[in-house]
Structure 1
Amino acid sequence: MIFQLLTSLSISLINMRAKEYGDSVIAGMGAVTRIISMGSLMVFGFIKGFQPIAGYSYGARKYDRLRETIRTAIIWSTVFCAVFGIAAAIFSKTIISGFTKDDMDMIETGRKALIANGLSFLLFGFYTVYSSLYLALGKAKEGLILGACRQGLFFVPIILILPLLWNINGILYAQPISDIISAVITVFMGVHLHGELDLLRRLTE
Protein backbone atom coordinates (compact mmCIF):
# COMPACT_ATOMS: atom_id res chain seq x y z
CA MET A 1 0.00 0.00 0.00
CA ILE A 2 2.81 2.38 0.93
CA PHE A 3 4.65 1.67 -2.31
CA GLN A 4 1.50 2.40 -4.34
CA LEU A 5 0.94 5.64 -2.44
CA LEU A 6 4.52 6.72 -3.07
CA THR A 7 4.13 5.98 -6.77
CA SER A 8 1.00 8.14 -6.92
CA LEU A 9 2.77 10.87 -4.95
CA SER A 10 5.76 10.86 -7.30
CA ILE A 11 3.52 11.21 -10.37
CA SER A 12 1.63 14.08 -8.72
CA LEU A 13 4.87 15.88 -7.86
CA ILE A 14 6.20 15.47 -11.40
CA ASN A 15 2.99 16.95 -12.82
CA MET A 16 3.08 19.78 -10.29
CA ARG A 17 6.61 20.73 -11.27
CA ALA A 18 6.05 20.17 -15.00
CA LYS A 19 2.96 22.41 -14.95
CA GLU A 20 5.24 25.44 -14.64
CA TYR A 21 6.67 24.69 -18.10
CA GLY A 22 3.45 24.05 -19.98
CA ASP A 23 1.27 21.23 -21.23
CA SER A 24 3.93 19.82 -23.56
CA VAL A 25 6.27 19.07 -20.67
CA ILE A 26 3.43 17.49 -18.67
CA ALA A 27 2.49 15.32 -21.66
CA GLY A 28 6.09 14.35 -22.34
CA MET A 29 6.74 13.31 -18.75
CA GLY A 30 3.41 11.48 -18.66
CA ALA A 31 4.40 9.45 -21.71
CA VAL A 32 7.76 8.56 -20.17
CA THR A 33 6.08 7.50 -16.93
CA ARG A 34 3.76 5.15 -18.83
CA ILE A 35 6.60 3.59 -20.80
CA ILE A 36 8.84 2.99 -17.79
CA SER A 37 5.85 1.69 -15.82
CA MET A 38 5.38 -1.03 -18.46
CA GLY A 39 8.90 -2.26 -17.80
CA SER A 40 8.48 -1.93 -14.04
CA LEU A 41 5.34 -4.06 -14.03
CA MET A 42 7.12 -6.83 -15.92
CA VAL A 43 9.91 -6.82 -13.33
CA PHE A 44 7.36 -6.90 -10.51
CA GLY A 45 5.77 -9.96 -12.11
CA PHE A 46 9.14 -11.71 -12.14
CA ILE A 47 9.75 -10.70 -8.52
CA LYS A 48 6.43 -12.25 -7.46
CA GLY A 49 7.91 -15.59 -8.46
CA PHE A 50 11.24 -14.85 -6.78
CA GLN A 51 9.86 -13.90 -3.35
CA PRO A 52 8.29 -17.24 -2.31
CA ILE A 53 11.36 -19.21 -3.43
CA ALA A 54 13.61 -16.88 -1.43
CA GLY A 55 11.31 -17.01 1.59
CA TYR A 56 11.01 -20.82 1.56
CA SER A 57 14.77 -21.25 1.16
CA TYR A 58 15.45 -18.90 4.06
CA GLY A 59 12.87 -20.57 6.28
CA ALA A 60 14.28 -24.02 5.48
CA ARG A 61 17.82 -22.76 6.16
CA LYS A 62 18.85 -23.65 2.63
CA TYR A 63 21.24 -20.73 2.40
CA ASP A 64 23.11 -22.02 -0.63
CA ARG A 65 19.82 -22.29 -2.52
CA LEU A 66 18.89 -18.80 -1.33
CA ARG A 67 22.19 -17.43 -2.60
CA GLU A 68 21.61 -19.07 -5.99
CA THR A 69 18.05 -17.75 -6.09
CA ILE A 70 19.23 -14.19 -5.43
CA ARG A 71 21.97 -14.46 -8.04
CA THR A 72 19.58 -15.81 -10.67
CA ALA A 73 16.98 -13.12 -9.91
CA ILE A 74 19.54 -10.33 -10.18
CA ILE A 75 20.96 -11.64 -13.45
CA TRP A 76 17.67 -12.14 -15.25
CA SER A 77 15.95 -9.00 -13.96
CA THR A 78 19.02 -6.95 -14.90
CA VAL A 79 19.19 -8.52 -18.35
CA PHE A 80 15.55 -7.62 -18.96
CA CYS A 81 16.01 -4.09 -17.58
CA ALA A 82 19.09 -3.60 -19.76
CA VAL A 83 17.28 -4.70 -22.93
CA PHE A 84 14.17 -2.67 -22.13
CA GLY A 85 16.03 0.42 -20.95
CA ILE A 86 18.57 0.54 -23.76
CA ALA A 87 15.86 -0.03 -26.36
CA ALA A 88 13.82 2.80 -24.83
CA ALA A 89 16.85 5.10 -24.95
CA ILE A 90 17.86 4.21 -28.52
CA PHE A 91 14.35 4.51 -29.95
CA SER A 92 13.25 7.30 -27.61
CA LYS A 93 12.20 9.73 -30.33
CA THR A 94 10.24 7.11 -32.25
CA ILE A 95 8.49 5.90 -29.09
CA ILE A 96 7.52 9.37 -27.87
CA SER A 97 6.37 10.36 -31.37
CA GLY A 98 3.73 7.65 -31.06
CA PHE A 99 2.00 9.76 -28.41
CA THR A 100 1.69 12.88 -30.58
CA LYS A 101 1.99 14.05 -34.17
CA ASP A 102 2.65 17.77 -34.05
CA ASP A 103 3.87 18.70 -30.56
CA MET A 104 7.62 18.95 -31.10
CA ASP A 105 8.17 20.35 -27.60
CA MET A 106 6.57 17.26 -26.12
CA ILE A 107 8.66 14.98 -28.31
CA GLU A 108 11.89 16.72 -27.34
CA THR A 109 11.04 16.72 -23.63
CA GLY A 110 9.94 13.10 -23.72
CA ARG A 111 12.98 12.06 -25.73
CA LYS A 112 15.45 13.53 -23.24
CA ALA A 113 13.58 12.14 -20.25
CA LEU A 114 13.19 8.69 -21.82
CA ILE A 115 16.90 8.44 -22.59
CA ALA A 116 17.79 9.28 -19.00
CA ASN A 117 15.11 7.07 -17.47
CA GLY A 118 15.87 4.23 -19.87
CA LEU A 119 19.54 4.17 -18.95
CA SER A 120 18.87 4.39 -15.20
CA PHE A 121 16.29 1.60 -15.59
CA LEU A 122 19.26 -0.76 -15.88
CA LEU A 123 19.50 -0.49 -12.08
CA PHE A 124 15.83 -1.19 -11.43
CA GLY A 125 16.02 -4.99 -11.41
CA PHE A 126 18.95 -5.07 -8.98
CA TYR A 127 17.24 -2.60 -6.66
CA THR A 128 13.86 -4.34 -6.81
CA VAL A 129 15.31 -7.79 -6.09
CA TYR A 130 16.79 -6.60 -2.82
CA SER A 131 13.84 -4.47 -1.73
CA SER A 132 11.60 -7.51 -2.27
CA LEU A 133 14.15 -9.89 -0.73
CA TYR A 134 14.03 -8.14 2.63
CA LEU A 135 10.26 -8.53 2.71
CA ALA A 136 10.52 -12.21 1.74
CA LEU A 137 12.94 -12.79 4.64
CA GLY A 138 10.59 -11.18 7.13
CA LYS A 139 12.76 -8.08 7.49
CA ALA A 140 9.90 -5.64 7.11
CA LYS A 141 11.66 -2.53 8.40
CA GLU A 142 14.62 -2.89 6.06
CA GLY A 143 12.33 -3.78 3.17
CA LEU A 144 10.17 -0.74 3.81
CA ILE A 145 13.15 1.61 3.99
CA LEU A 146 14.74 0.27 0.82
CA GLY A 147 11.44 0.04 -1.03
CA ALA A 148 10.62 3.66 -0.16
CA CYS A 149 13.95 5.03 -1.38
CA ARG A 150 13.36 5.23 -5.10
CA GLN A 151 10.05 7.11 -5.16
CA GLY A 152 9.89 8.41 -1.64
CA LEU A 153 12.88 9.10 0.58
CA PHE A 154 15.10 10.33 -2.25
CA PHE A 155 12.72 11.22 -5.06
CA VAL A 156 10.49 13.60 -3.10
CA PRO A 157 13.23 16.00 -1.95
CA ILE A 158 14.96 15.74 -5.34
CA ILE A 159 11.84 16.66 -7.35
CA LEU A 160 11.05 19.49 -4.95
CA ILE A 161 14.54 21.02 -4.86
CA LEU A 162 16.33 20.14 -8.12
CA PRO A 163 14.00 22.07 -10.50
CA LEU A 164 14.71 25.21 -8.46
CA LEU A 165 18.40 24.78 -9.19
CA TRP A 166 18.35 23.18 -12.65
CA ASN A 167 15.03 24.35 -14.11
CA ILE A 168 13.35 21.86 -16.47
CA ASN A 169 16.35 19.52 -16.36
CA GLY A 170 15.64 19.04 -12.67
CA ILE A 171 12.33 17.46 -13.68
CA LEU A 172 13.74 15.36 -16.51
CA TYR A 173 16.53 13.86 -14.43
CA ALA A 174 14.93 13.65 -10.97
CA GLN A 175 13.95 9.99 -11.29
CA PRO A 176 17.26 8.81 -12.78
CA ILE A 177 19.20 10.55 -9.99
CA SER A 178 16.91 8.92 -7.43
CA ASP A 179 17.48 5.56 -9.13
CA ILE A 180 21.25 5.90 -8.89
CA ILE A 181 21.21 6.91 -5.22
CA SER A 182 18.81 4.06 -4.41
CA ALA A 183 21.09 1.57 -6.18
CA VAL A 184 24.08 2.79 -4.15
CA ILE A 185 22.13 2.34 -0.91
CA THR A 186 21.09 -1.12 -2.11
CA VAL A 187 24.74 -2.12 -2.55
CA PHE A 188 25.58 -1.25 1.05
CA MET A 189 22.48 -2.92 2.44
CA GLY A 190 23.02 -5.97 0.23
CA VAL A 191 26.60 -6.41 1.42
CA HIS A 192 25.41 -6.30 5.03
CA LEU A 193 22.61 -8.78 4.31
CA HIS A 194 24.94 -11.26 2.62
CA GLY A 195 27.25 -11.00 5.60
CA GLU A 196 24.37 -12.06 7.85
CA LEU A 197 23.42 -14.92 5.52
CA ASP A 198 27.02 -16.16 5.34
CA LEU A 199 27.18 -16.20 9.14
CA LEU A 200 23.94 -18.19 9.33
CA ARG A 201 25.22 -20.62 6.71
CA ARG A 202 28.41 -21.26 8.66
CA LEU A 203 26.46 -21.81 11.87
CA THR A 204 24.32 -24.49 10.22
CA GLU A 205 27.23 -26.39 8.70
Structure 2
Amino acid sequence: MCLSMHTNVHFAVGILFASIAHRLFPLNIWFFLIIIISAAIADLDLIVSKIALNNDHRNFFTHSLYPALILIIIGIPIGVIWNIHVVWISGIGYSSHIFLDCIDWKTRLFFGKKQYGWAFLITEDEKNLGKTRKQLQIESKMDFTSFSVHRYFHSIGMLVLGITLAVLSFLLLFVFASEFWYVFFGYFILLEIPLYQKKKMEEKYEQIEDDD
Protein backbone atom coordinates (compact mmCIF):
# COMPACT_ATOMS: atom_id res chain seq x y z
CA MET A 1 0.00 0.00 0.00
CA CYS A 2 1.33 3.41 -0.94
CA LEU A 3 0.81 6.60 1.02
CA SER A 4 2.22 9.51 -0.97
CA MET A 5 0.63 12.53 0.67
CA HIS A 6 0.84 10.68 3.96
CA THR A 7 -2.29 9.99 5.99
CA ASN A 8 -0.76 11.66 9.04
CA VAL A 9 -0.65 14.93 7.05
CA HIS A 10 -4.34 14.57 6.16
CA PHE A 11 -5.05 13.83 9.83
CA ALA A 12 -3.24 17.04 10.81
CA VAL A 13 -5.35 19.03 8.34
CA GLY A 14 -8.43 17.41 9.87
CA ILE A 15 -7.34 18.68 13.29
CA LEU A 16 -6.89 22.13 11.76
CA PHE A 17 -10.45 22.21 10.39
CA ALA A 18 -11.94 20.67 13.53
CA SER A 19 -10.21 23.25 15.74
CA ILE A 20 -11.49 26.16 13.66
CA ALA A 21 -14.98 24.62 13.58
CA HIS A 22 -14.92 24.21 17.36
CA ARG A 23 -14.12 27.90 17.70
CA LEU A 24 -17.12 28.81 15.54
CA PHE A 25 -19.59 26.08 16.55
CA PRO A 26 -18.62 24.40 19.86
CA LEU A 27 -18.35 20.66 19.24
CA ASN A 28 -18.41 17.59 21.43
CA ILE A 29 -15.54 15.14 21.11
CA TRP A 30 -17.46 12.86 18.71
CA PHE A 31 -18.21 15.62 16.20
CA PHE A 32 -14.64 16.85 16.60
CA LEU A 33 -13.32 13.40 15.71
CA ILE A 34 -15.71 13.04 12.76
CA ILE A 35 -14.28 16.19 11.17
CA ILE A 36 -10.72 14.99 11.73
CA ILE A 37 -11.49 11.59 10.24
CA SER A 38 -13.25 13.16 7.25
CA ALA A 39 -9.93 14.63 6.11
CA ALA A 40 -8.17 11.26 6.20
CA ILE A 41 -10.85 8.66 5.51
CA ALA A 42 -10.44 8.71 1.71
CA ASP A 43 -7.24 6.70 2.15
CA LEU A 44 -9.27 3.70 3.34
CA ASP A 45 -9.50 2.78 -0.33
CA LEU A 46 -5.86 1.72 -0.02
CA ILE A 47 -7.20 -1.57 1.32
CA VAL A 48 -8.51 -2.48 -2.12
CA SER A 49 -5.90 -0.65 -4.22
CA LYS A 50 -5.00 -3.92 -5.98
CA ILE A 51 -8.25 -3.75 -7.95
CA ALA A 52 -7.85 -0.08 -8.88
CA LEU A 53 -6.73 1.13 -12.29
CA ASN A 54 -2.92 0.82 -12.37
CA ASN A 55 -3.16 -0.38 -8.73
CA ASP A 56 -3.47 3.29 -7.75
CA HIS A 57 -6.13 3.96 -5.12
CA ARG A 58 -6.42 7.54 -6.37
CA ASN A 59 -8.28 6.22 -9.40
CA PHE A 60 -11.27 5.26 -7.24
CA PHE A 61 -14.46 7.35 -6.96
CA THR A 62 -13.51 7.99 -3.34
CA HIS A 63 -10.58 10.11 -4.55
CA SER A 64 -12.81 12.43 -6.57
CA LEU A 65 -14.56 15.58 -5.35
CA TYR A 66 -18.03 14.02 -5.49
CA PRO A 67 -18.15 12.53 -1.96
CA ALA A 68 -17.16 15.94 -0.57
CA LEU A 69 -19.81 17.71 -2.66
CA ILE A 70 -22.46 15.26 -1.47
CA LEU A 71 -21.57 15.94 2.17
CA ILE A 72 -21.62 19.70 1.64
CA ILE A 73 -24.94 19.69 -0.25
CA ILE A 74 -26.60 17.48 2.38
CA GLY A 75 -24.88 19.22 5.28
CA ILE A 76 -25.81 22.84 4.57
CA PRO A 77 -29.58 22.40 5.09
CA ILE A 78 -28.89 20.22 8.13
CA GLY A 79 -26.80 23.05 9.55
CA VAL A 80 -29.45 25.67 8.77
CA ILE A 81 -32.42 23.69 10.08
CA TRP A 82 -30.95 21.79 13.05
CA ASN A 83 -27.82 23.85 13.74
CA ILE A 84 -25.67 20.74 13.26
CA HIS A 85 -22.72 21.84 11.16
CA VAL A 86 -20.51 18.76 11.34
CA VAL A 87 -21.73 17.31 8.02
CA TRP A 88 -20.87 20.20 5.68
CA ILE A 89 -17.63 20.91 7.55
CA SER A 90 -16.72 17.25 7.07
CA GLY A 91 -17.34 17.80 3.36
CA ILE A 92 -14.74 20.57 3.39
CA GLY A 93 -12.38 18.30 5.31
CA TYR A 94 -12.88 15.55 2.73
CA SER A 95 -12.23 17.97 -0.14
CA SER A 96 -8.99 19.08 1.52
CA HIS A 97 -7.75 15.50 1.17
CA ILE A 98 -8.44 15.47 -2.56
CA PHE A 99 -6.79 18.84 -3.18
CA LEU A 100 -3.73 17.92 -1.12
CA ASP A 101 -3.38 14.79 -3.22
CA CYS A 102 -3.12 17.05 -6.27
CA ILE A 103 0.13 18.48 -4.93
CA ASP A 104 2.46 15.48 -4.86
CA TRP A 105 1.06 13.57 -7.84
CA LYS A 106 -2.35 13.92 -9.48
CA THR A 107 -5.87 12.65 -8.92
CA ARG A 108 -9.07 12.26 -10.93
CA LEU A 109 -10.98 15.18 -9.42
CA PHE A 110 -14.14 14.53 -11.44
CA PHE A 111 -13.72 10.74 -11.78
CA GLY A 112 -13.09 11.03 -15.49
CA LYS A 113 -10.10 9.96 -17.54
CA LYS A 114 -8.23 13.22 -16.97
CA GLN A 115 -6.07 13.65 -13.89
CA TYR A 116 -5.55 17.04 -12.28
CA GLY A 117 -2.70 18.27 -10.12
CA TRP A 118 0.76 19.76 -9.93
CA ALA A 119 2.72 16.51 -9.49
CA PHE A 120 5.56 18.20 -7.63
CA LEU A 121 7.23 14.82 -7.10
CA ILE A 122 7.99 14.74 -10.82
CA THR A 123 10.83 17.08 -11.78
CA GLU A 124 10.44 19.73 -14.48
CA ASP A 125 12.93 17.87 -16.68
CA GLU A 126 10.89 14.68 -16.33
CA LYS A 127 7.68 16.57 -17.16
CA ASN A 128 9.32 18.12 -20.23
CA LEU A 129 10.20 14.62 -21.39
CA GLY A 130 6.57 13.59 -20.95
CA LYS A 131 7.38 11.06 -18.24
CA THR A 132 4.47 9.68 -16.27
CA ARG A 133 4.53 8.44 -12.69
CA LYS A 134 4.18 4.86 -13.89
CA GLN A 135 7.04 5.21 -16.39
CA LEU A 136 9.33 6.72 -13.76
CA GLN A 137 8.47 3.95 -11.32
CA ILE A 138 9.32 1.27 -13.89
CA GLU A 139 12.60 3.00 -14.77
CA SER A 140 13.53 3.20 -11.08
CA LYS A 141 13.17 -0.61 -10.81
CA MET A 142 11.36 -0.04 -7.53
CA ASP A 143 7.95 -1.34 -6.58
CA PHE A 144 5.09 1.17 -6.55
CA THR A 145 5.17 1.86 -2.81
CA SER A 146 8.96 2.14 -2.53
CA PHE A 147 9.14 4.51 -5.50
CA SER A 148 6.52 6.85 -4.01
CA VAL A 149 8.09 6.76 -0.55
CA HIS A 150 11.54 7.43 -2.01
CA ARG A 151 10.29 10.45 -3.98
CA TYR A 152 8.41 11.86 -0.99
CA PHE A 153 11.29 11.66 1.46
CA HIS A 154 13.68 13.16 -1.10
CA SER A 155 11.43 16.17 -1.68
CA ILE A 156 12.30 19.09 0.60
CA GLY A 157 9.14 20.89 -0.47
CA MET A 158 6.83 18.03 0.49
CA LEU A 159 8.57 17.49 3.81
CA VAL A 160 8.37 21.21 4.65
CA LEU A 161 4.68 21.28 3.70
CA GLY A 162 3.92 18.27 5.89
CA ILE A 163 5.78 19.69 8.89
CA THR A 164 4.21 23.14 8.43
CA LEU A 165 0.68 21.71 8.37
CA ALA A 166 1.41 19.60 11.45
CA VAL A 167 2.76 22.57 13.42
CA LEU A 168 -0.13 24.81 12.34
CA SER A 169 -2.72 22.21 13.32
CA PHE A 170 -0.96 21.69 16.66
CA LEU A 171 -1.08 25.42 17.40
CA LEU A 172 -4.73 25.82 16.40
CA LEU A 173 -5.68 22.77 18.46
CA PHE A 174 -4.19 24.30 21.61
CA VAL A 175 -5.56 27.77 20.91
CA PHE A 176 -9.12 26.83 19.90
CA ALA A 177 -9.71 23.34 21.32
CA SER A 178 -7.20 22.68 24.08
CA GLU A 179 -9.65 20.36 25.86
CA PHE A 180 -9.13 17.90 23.00
CA TRP A 181 -5.32 18.10 23.07
CA TYR A 182 -4.97 14.31 23.19
CA VAL A 183 -6.24 13.81 19.62
CA PHE A 184 -2.82 14.88 18.39
CA PHE A 185 -1.46 11.50 19.47
CA GLY A 186 -3.27 10.15 16.41
CA TYR A 187 -0.90 12.14 14.22
CA PHE A 188 2.15 10.45 15.73
CA ILE A 189 0.57 7.01 15.44
CA LEU A 190 -0.11 7.55 11.73
CA LEU A 191 3.37 9.01 11.26
CA GLU A 192 4.76 5.57 12.05
CA ILE A 193 3.33 4.22 8.77
CA PRO A 194 5.47 6.26 6.33
CA LEU A 195 8.50 5.95 8.61
CA TYR A 196 8.08 2.17 8.60
CA GLN A 197 7.66 2.19 4.81
CA LYS A 198 10.83 4.27 4.47
CA LYS A 199 12.76 1.82 6.64
CA LYS A 200 11.51 -1.18 4.64
CA MET A 201 12.35 0.56 1.35
CA GLU A 202 15.91 1.31 2.47
CA GLU A 203 16.42 -2.25 3.71
CA LYS A 204 14.99 -3.79 0.54
CA TYR A 205 16.97 -1.77 -1.97
CA GLU A 206 20.15 -1.75 0.07
CA GLN A 207 19.96 -5.55 -0.04
CA ILE A 208 19.48 -5.46 -3.82
CA GLU A 209 22.56 -3.24 -4.21
CA ASP A 210 24.58 -5.58 -1.97
CA ASP A 211 23.52 -8.57 -4.07
CA ASP A 212 24.65 -6.76 -7.23
TM-score if structure 1 supplies the norm length? 0.40
TM-score if structure 2 supplies the norm length? 0.39
